[in-house]
Chains A and B, each alone.
Chain A
């Protein structure tokens, strides 16, 4: 019988991570779009680091950064928090947010950049301030960027392994997500369970990719003059 704990945990981590990422990435992407060219290159490169950095490297640095005796944990402790940010659910979410950040930020940056300047100029001349322009023009014209960013970060979080392993370990029901569960089953030579979970992941990934490609092909057909 397939244990659904890891699946539920994975979905929970991915959902929370996606919501957090959309909230963080929206102002971040808008800030990047409005930077001058030189700064934008630097910031975009920095934000894209998780794309090419080995997950273990990212996980390692996060482990150092979030360790119970580190600056962040100590500050939290002085504020009454336990300061425990590693090897628990919180750590998992923090790691996932950082790991999947480029998958939300980049589609949003692309969408925001594509909003024609003439709309913003017109809005400004009609008396719309910066924030008003963002909410009334940029956001509604970037719907597909939000959908794409949401799907990609959700899918990417579901598939992560290295960062989770480094920062969360392999604690059943706490940090054992699907990818780690598969690894555990293989190690224990429980191939049938590994098969079941792997197949679910395979189908899920395929569905996500079909969604992403159908979305980007419909975006190509959008009129955007």
Chain B
């Protein structure tokens, strides 16, 4: 399942131990670079550059599952761009391919970030970057509950299939219609859960007005500083390349 490519996987690798802000900067740099360039070669290099990172972080399998999950949308983006750009303006076929690859780089770089960053760590990073706690909390809760919701969908599907509901037969419209018995319990139980969580949080002093303290504080180590400098240097070089150097096209046509 694609959502597994966005679920934190525990580990003790160097990538896991990096400050979450640095990891976010790395992912953001991939996104910025992918937006700076529309040449297929560069976008391919960017994608491949994530392979050793995912491998070092021990999350290559999960990261590849994200790529597999993206394949359908990537092909769709390629096809749409091919119709409107390649056949429309006669531009190189490289452009539609680059657009599809740009989408892959953007999504998979965030997949890599979430695979090696615990939701709580991510929340802590945002909180210590002075983002209001309510916003941070809503964001981290949303990420934390993705696997819970996935399990809930499974339980609901089990219950409905046990009452004779066939989910995987019939035409597209029939299949969509048959998913209504899954959607309603999912929405109802999600809303119910969020209300219960809110009540339980308030009962434990959430919103008491006192300044919040933290159990953990993020420490910016030397290695974090070194990786930050390196990432910023790569980013600066990318901007320089974009502005002053020609980028080769893939096959020259």
Does B bind A? no
